[in-house]
């Protein structure tokens, strides 16, 4: 079992002289660390965090009664019993620092790739993992779909986990002999400080378009959140002589702004004539994508099985990240060309009716527009688009996504995503708010909507089912029901035959 000496905490916790001396005076150990009242164990340290719904400070007595030995707070609390109370200015930061220490600072033993951006994080981390693994660098993954530690896949709660969970997972990677980790870093995680204590070697920026404005309020705040990954790169207190690199999409105006935010080396990529890495002469078919990759002055032909212009960007991003660590262009290209696809990302669902059914995780206006324009570049007949918007998430994207669906498809079937605690009908009212009547079909039940689109489609048509990708659930209210777009499609065709 892991333990940590209380006196060791004095080295990094920002606290008063009195509390500092109190920490130094303690020779005993902590058995664990937690921010959750439900997982307090005897001898552990509890970090009180004030969230949107729950304030740990209001439950310190219950935590002390459950056997916590030390409690970190942001303001004085009343408590009976023999507990060491330490006051810090920011308990979340203390949690990140304590977690880093408790798990022996695992990111120091891993080559850390952090990938941020509105779209393409999951895809890019998977491409990095494939390239590095092909070149004998066993690489873990932390992200939306799961964490991969060694060969084991563990379920994910958030795209970017809380500091304790993140440090624990990284330490498990070290134990499983992973040498690198490709990690998705969401803007929300950056603002909350979930990645404090992680020393990234390479930071990748994919793109910035509208999402999460319910959380960030303004696009500028959203940019500032993403920028943190780059401004913090190489500035960590235990930063060593390791080379730090920022890999940045220069076609995105916000990528250009990021270059000024980082002290690290910058490797730029793009498809519009600028960048150290450039994709030229891009050709997209319904079988894949071809382009010439220019690396400084050299050019290499690349044929990806991945489809879509957006995947050219993801490939460039992953190429840049791995190239910076000494891999040769030809080696990286061989790996990229082998990638079949990432689950739920432009995933084609085979069927015997010659309908091209695609399940894709596009859940932002930009993602949806990209996927539909890729489809339109090869579709010969009608394009059906089944899509909705998640509840308890930003509302401004809803009419925009409704418009994109109607404008870029021949038949838009507007439906539910994860309604969560919102009324699905009200979400749909917002999705269709700016649409002319009779330009779309509205079917609230997602299964029925998918069945309807498939029943209307004929041989040669394309049916895009967007928004939920790999998800195998639908959240209605606070209940998670089993629901899998691919499964719904397969069931439909099985009942046909």
Ligand X SMILES: CC(=O)N[C@H]1[C@@H](OP(=O)(O)OP(=O)(O)OC[C@H]2O[C@@H](n3ccc(=O)[nH]c3=O)[C@H](O)[C@@H]2O)O[C@H](CO)[C@@H](O)[C@@H]1O[C@H](C)C(=O)N[C@@H](C)C(=O)N[C@H](CCC(=O)O)C(=O)O
Give the x-and-dash track for 178-217 against ligand X (CB under 6 A): --------x-xx----------------------------
Q: Give the β-pairing of 383-387 and 462-466.
A: parallel
Q: Is 67 exposed, middle or buried (0-12, 13-18, 19+ CB in 10 A)?
A: middle
CA-based radius of gyration for the chain: 24
Q: Give the β-pairing of 462-466 and 356-360.
A: parallel
Angle, vertex CA 390, rays to CA 221 and CA 166, nearest 5: 60
Q: Give the β-pairing of 152-155 and 146-149.
A: antiparallel
Piece of the chain touching ligand ATP by CB under 6 A; list 286-294, 366-374, 385-393, 398-406: 366-374
Residue 122 found at the interface with Mg ion (CB under 5 A): yes
Return the HEC string of 381-447.
CCEEEEECCCCCCCCCHHHHHHHHHHHCCCEEEECCCCCECCCHHHHHHHHCCCCCCCCEEECCCHH
Residue 121 found at the interface with Mg ion (CB under 5 A): yes
Residue 370 found at the interface with ligand ATP (CB under 6 A): yes
Within 113-142, which residues bind ligand ATP (CB under 6 A)? 119-123
Residue 467 partner contact from Mg ion, ligand ATP, ligand API, none using kind-dependent CB cut-offs of 5 to 8 Å: ligand API
418 is in an annotated binding site: yes
192 is in an annotated binding site: yes
Q: Give the tokens for residue 192.
A: 């909350």
| Consecutive H or E run containing 91 | helix 91-102
Piece of the chain touching ligand X by CB under 6 A; list 53-61, 285-293, 434-442, 477-485: 53-61
344 is in an annotated binding site: no
Residue 86 Cβ vs ligand ATP, minimum distance, rounded to whole Å: 35
126 vs 325, which CB is nearer to ligand API? Answer: 126
DSSP 3-state of 16: coil
Residue 54 partner contact from ligand X, Mg ion, ligand ATP, none using kind-dependent CB cut-offs of 5 to 8 Å: ligand X
Q: Given strand 45-47, what is the order of strands in its sheet?
A: 33-34, 45-47, 70-73, 84-87
**Max Cα–Cα distance, the chain, nearest Å:** 76
Residue 54 found at the interface with ligand X (CB under 6 A): yes
Q: Give the tokens for residue 467.
A: 């928004």
347 is in an annotated binding site: no
Q: Given strand 356-360, what is the order of strands in its sheet?
A: 347-349, 356-360, 462-466, 383-387, 411-414, 440-442
Residue 310 found at the interface with ligand ATP (CB under 6 A): yes
Within 126-165, which residues bind Mg ion (CB under 5 A)? 144
Phi, psi of 245 (to 5 degrees): -135, 140
Task: Please select the residue that binds ligand ATP; options are 100, 202, 262, 314, rule is CB under 6 A.
Answer: 314
Residue 471 found at the interface with ligand ATP (CB under 6 A): no
Residue 329 partner contact from ligand API, Mg ion, ligand ATP, none using kind-dependent CB cut-offs of 5 to 8 Å: none
Q: Is 135 exposed, middle or buried (0-12, 13-18, 19+ CB in 10 A)?
A: middle
Q: How far apart are CA 161 and CA 147, in angstroms?
A: 10
Closest C-alpha to 143, from 176, 180, 183: 183
138 is in an annotated binding site: no
Residue 29's DSSP bridge partners are: 5
Residue 254 partner contact from ligand API, Mg ion, ligand ATP, none using kind-dependent CB cut-offs of 5 to 8 Å: none
121 is in an annotated binding site: yes
Residue 19 partner contact from Mg ion, ligand API, ligand X, none using kind-dependent CB cut-offs of 5 to 8 Å: none
Residue 418 partner contact from ligand API, ligand ATP, Mg ion, none using kind-dependent CB cut-offs of 5 to 8 Å: ligand API
- How many helices (H) and strands (E) the chain has is answered by 16, 25
34 vs 187, which CB is nearer to Mg ion? Answer: 187
Sign of the Cα torsion 202, 251, 310, 420 reads: positive
121 vs 451, which CB is nearer to Mg ion? Answer: 121
Please give the size of the binding site for Mg ion, defined by CB under 5 A: 4
Residue 189 partner contact from Mg ion, ligand X, ligand ATP, none using kind-dependent CB cut-offs of 5 to 8 Å: ligand X
Residue 98's DSSP bridge partners are: none
Residue 56 found at the interface with ligand X (CB under 6 A): yes
The binding site comprises 37, 117-123, 158-160, 186, 192, 194, 393, 417-420, 467, 471
Contacting positions for Mg ion (CB under 5 A)? 121-122, 144, 184
Contacting positions for ligand X (CB under 6 A)? 35-38, 49, 51-54, 56, 144, 158-160, 162, 186, 188-189
The binding site for ATP comprises 117-123
Contacting positions for ligand ATP (CB under 6 A)? 119-123, 144, 159, 184, 206-207, 310, 313-314, 345, 360-362, 366-367, 370-371, 469
């Amino acid at each position: 079992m892991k333990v940590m000496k209380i006196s060791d905490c004095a080295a990094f916790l920002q606290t008063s002289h009195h509390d500092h001396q109190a920490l130094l005076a303690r020779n005993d150990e902590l058995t664990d660390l937690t921010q959750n009242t439900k997982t307090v164990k005897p001898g552990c340290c509890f970090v009180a965090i004030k969230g949107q719904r729950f304030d740990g400070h209001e439950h310190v007595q219950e935590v002390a009664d459950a056997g916590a030995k030390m409690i970190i707070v942001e303001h004085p609390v009343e408590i009976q019993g023999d507990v060491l109370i330490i006051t810090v200015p920011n308990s979340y930061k203390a949690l990140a620092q304590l977690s880093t220490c408790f798990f022996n600072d695992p990111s120091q033993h891993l080559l850390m790739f952090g990938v941020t951006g509105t779209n393409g994080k999951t895809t890019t981390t998977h491409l990095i993992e494939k390239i590095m693994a092909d070149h004998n660098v066993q690489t873990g993954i932390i992200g939306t779909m799961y964490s991969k530690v060694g060969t084991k896949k563990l379920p994910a709660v958030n795209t970017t986990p809380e500091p304790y969970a993140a440090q624990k997972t990284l330490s498990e990677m070290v134990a499983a002999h992973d040498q690198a980790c490709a990690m998705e870093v969401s803007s929300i995680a950056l603002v909350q400080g979930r990645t404090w204590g992680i020393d990234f070697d390479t930071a990748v920026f994919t793109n910035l378009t509208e999402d999460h404005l319910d959380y960030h309020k303004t696009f500028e705040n959203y940019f500032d959140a993403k920028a943190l990954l780059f401004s913090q790169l190489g500035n960590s207190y235990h930063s060593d002589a390791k080379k730090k690199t920022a890999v940045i999409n220069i076609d995105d105006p916000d990528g250009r702004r990021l270059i000024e935010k980082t002290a690290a080396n910058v490797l730029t990529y793009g498809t519009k004539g600028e960048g150290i890495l450039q994709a030229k002469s891009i050709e997209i078919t319904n079988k894949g994508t071809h382009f010439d990759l220019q690396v400084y002055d050299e050019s290499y032909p690349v044929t990806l099985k991945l489809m879509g212009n957006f995947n050219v960007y993801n490939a460039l991003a992953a190429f840049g990240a791995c190239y910076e660590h000494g891999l040769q262009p030809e080696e990286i290209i061989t790996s990229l060309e082998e990638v079949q696809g990432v689950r739920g990302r432009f995933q084609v669902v085979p069927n015997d009716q010659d309908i091209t059914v695609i399940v894709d995780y596009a859940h932002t206006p930009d993602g949806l527009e990209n996927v539909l324009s890729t489809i339109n570049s090869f579709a010969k007949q009608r394009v059906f688009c089944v899509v909705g918007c998640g509840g308890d998430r930003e509302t401004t994207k809803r009419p925009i996504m409704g418009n994109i669906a109607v404008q870029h498809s021949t038949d838009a079937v507007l439906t539910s995503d994860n309604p969560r605690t919102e009324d699905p009908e009200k979400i749909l009212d917002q999705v269709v708010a700016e649409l002319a009547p009779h330009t779309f079909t509205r079917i609230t039940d997602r299964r029925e909507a998918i069945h309807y689109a498939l029943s209307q489609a004929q041989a040669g048509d394309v049916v895009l089912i967007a928004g939920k990708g790999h998800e195998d659930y639908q959240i209605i209210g606070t209940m998670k029901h089993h629901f899998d777009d691919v499964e719904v499609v397969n069931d439909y065709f099985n009942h046909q035959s």
